[in-house]
Amino acid sequence: MTLSRQLITLILTVFLLIFSGTFWISVENTRAYLIDQLATQTQNSASSLGVSLVPHMKSKDIATMNTMVNALFDSGYYQSLTITSISGEELIQRQNNRMIAGVPAWFINRLPLQAASAETMITTGWSQAGRLQLVAHPGFAYQKLWQTTLEIFWWSIIAFIVALLGTTLILRTILKPLHDVEQQADAICNREFPTLERVPATRELRRVVEAMNRLSIKVKSSIENLTERAEMMRREAHFDDLTGLMNRRGFLAALEHNIKEREHAGSGALLLIRVSHFSDYNKTHGFQRGDELLTSLAAMITDMTQPYPLAVAARTKGAEFGIILPLISADDGSKFAEDCSQALQELSLSLAVDGIGHIGCVRFHEEDQAGSVLAQADTALASALHQGPNSCFVSGHAVDAESSIAWRELINRSMQESAIRLLFQPVMNAQKQPLYHETLIRIQDDNGNAIAPGSFAAMADRLELNRELDCYVIKQVITTIEAASQPLPLAINLSTRSIHHGGFINWLESRLQEHRKAAASILFEISEHGLLEQIDTSMRLIDLIHAAGGKVVMEHFGSKLSSFRTLRQLKLDYIKLDGRYIRNISTNSDNRFFLQTLTDIAHGLDMQVIAEHVESEADYECLKSLGINAMQGYLLGAPAALK
């Protein structure tokens, strides 16, 4: 019960007691007054009539006595009148049996009025001639008491209602700041940090509002300071100051991660771009112009990789740049290298130099080692040197074995025939108990051979079949949850193409509303890039998922430099750290400090942190000590069918 209701209830109880007591006292006082009035009036009437009857009693004029008695008794105020002689002879007797009109019987029974009686002696001279007995009739007194009671009752009710309404209005006005404070506290829980502009005049409430404002400002400042510190640490550890691209350390971690990533990468292309004769350029044009050349080349690389959300661009050393293109096909990788060569030529013309550099491009697969892939790329780069300025050399270029048409037919046929196999990899909490299972898909070629998940994902994205695949998986997962005997939390990966498609969002909303029980057990994993690309669309998607009882996980968190700034806007339930920060975390002190700060920020925003690609016991123990809430990796469980 709210404070205002408690206070209103308390005041209502006090008012009720006060008005009830006042009402009862007023009625009782009126009753006592009427009883006294009856007794006094009866005694006075008996005495007056007794004196008036003396001469007629002396002459025994009964007729006149009857007339005088009737004049008094017919008023209706008396119940009985009796005149007897001194010897006991009854001379006159009157009786009034009229019922009390207009007064409820329960009222008469509850508030009895004793019938007042009076007796007086009729004397003639010094001798007693008779006795007069008079008993009052309570009818008029009851009527007066009933009328007075009703008036007191209704006035009490009116006064009570007016007092209650006035008190309620005053309380709501006084307690309005508490309601604002409650909304402010809820906003802080929702990762918003407002301050209340209107400060109440009541001293105690004013102190509460001022304290909450200070708390909101302090929490906001703490989160912002932690965010700035985390961004600074990540920039210093993994990014180049001059170009803003990733540095060699971050580049090598990203390359190893993408090669070893079993589900979402494992294959792709690596490009090395090296500026030719950079030391001579510095000597001729000066170091400032040399820096301008590097920043221009970095801007060109950034523009070239913009359409590839998973791409990683880095300045690997002084005048050398590297580009990682995960999940890109061989044809697309070759075309990208040729486009880079053309862009280098255009940059050369704009800078009025004969040639800037050369490009070497190689493919990598999950069986490769990062060192050997870099060596192959360096060899390809050496080959490009013999082809002229701004040229590129693609090592081992071959046309994809499967044509796009064959891939499209295979994927569509697999969905139509329900031939896509679903596997589930557990996400464990710190106690190694399942938090939920991530849904992974497997597909086979026409010969029954398993297709590598990375290759399949690359072709599905290239053919723009992600949305159809997402719809297929959602239907299958809902069926799996509804068929289970107990609620089974399952996570579904949504592609960037899907979450930015209005038709898909509308379809998802209707599907979740139709299967509300199953929806409460679904988590949606969406990449950091996908959520940050269109914030407003992402917020709408998150809101509809939460409205259906589902949860949202931002996966690959940390792959973008600007991600910290939007965490407060997106009401996420979990963030799943990018694998490049997890691998070998037990021996990487820089990443440990960064992850500790990141975890503190996430917990401050009421989000749980998940680490993926946990492959060793040492990494598991290290992550556990950092306060990571849950982990996923082959150490904790490989993808498998549900039992």
At residue 401 the predicted structure's pLDDT band, cuts being 50, 70 and 90, is very low
75 — phi, psi (to 5°)?
-65, -20
Q: Give the separation between CA 412 and CA 443, rounded to whole angstroms.
A: 11
HSE-up of residue 377 (Cα within 13 Å, Cβ side): 27
Residue tagged 């170091």 (tokens): 287
Confidence of residue 262 (pLDDT cuts 50, 70, 90): low
Residues 32-49 pLDDT 10s: 888 888 888 888 888 888
C-beta separation of 493 from 525 below 8 A: yes
Most confident listed range (89-98, 131-140, 365-374, 607-616): 607-616
At 576 the pLDDT is 93
For the chain, the distance separating the N- and C-terminal CA atoms, rounded to the nearest angstrom, is: 46
Q: Is 7 helix (H, G, I), strand (E, B) or coil?
A: helix
**Residues 277-334: tens digit of each pLDDT:** 888 888 888 889 889 999 999 999 999 999 888 899 999 988 999 999 988 888 888 9
> Would the pTM of this model clear 0.95, i.e. be above it?
no
Decide if pLDDT at 400 tops 70: no
Query: Residue 542 is inside which H or E element, if any?
Result: helix 535-547
Side-chain half-sphere CA neighbours of 429 within 13 A: 6
Opening angle at CA 231, ends 226 and 232, nearest 5: 95
Q: Which residue's entry shows tokens 């040197």?
A: 385
List Cα–Cα distances, 556 to 116, 264, 406, 560, 592, in angstroms.
98, 11, 31, 9, 17
Residues 6+ apart with CB under 8 A from 1: 9
534 vs 405, higher pLDDT: 534
pLDDT band with cut points at 50, 70 and 90 for residue 63:
confident
3-state secondary structure 97-162: CCCCCCCCHHHHHHCCCCCCEEEEEEEECCEEEEEEEEEECCHHHHHHHHHHHHHHHHHHHHHHHH
Cβ atoms of residues 359 and 391 within 8 Å: yes
Q: Flag whether pLDDT at 398 surpasses 50.
A: no
Q: What percent of the chain has pLDDT over 70?
A: 95
Q: Is 626 a residue whose pLDDT tops 80?
A: yes
How do beta strands 127-136 and 117-124 pair? antiparallel
Structure tokens at 497: 């193409």
Interval 141-169: pLDDT, tens: 888 888 888 888 888 888 888 888 888 88
Q: Which among 170-184, 508-522, 586-600 has the top mean pLDDT? A: 508-522
- How far apart (Å, rounded) are the C-alpha atoms in residues 639 and 392? 40
The tokens describing 565, both together, are 């700034």
pLDDT score recorded for residue 399: 41
Pull the structure tokens for residue 622: 């290290």
- Whether 76 has a pLDDT exceeding 60, the answer reads yes
Give 222-244 pLDDT, tens digit per residue: 777 777 777 777 777 788 889 98
Give, in order, the Cα–Cα distances in Å from 225 to each of 326, 562, 564, 565, 630: 34, 15, 11, 11, 25
For the residues 517-522, what does the mean pLDDT come to? Answer: 94
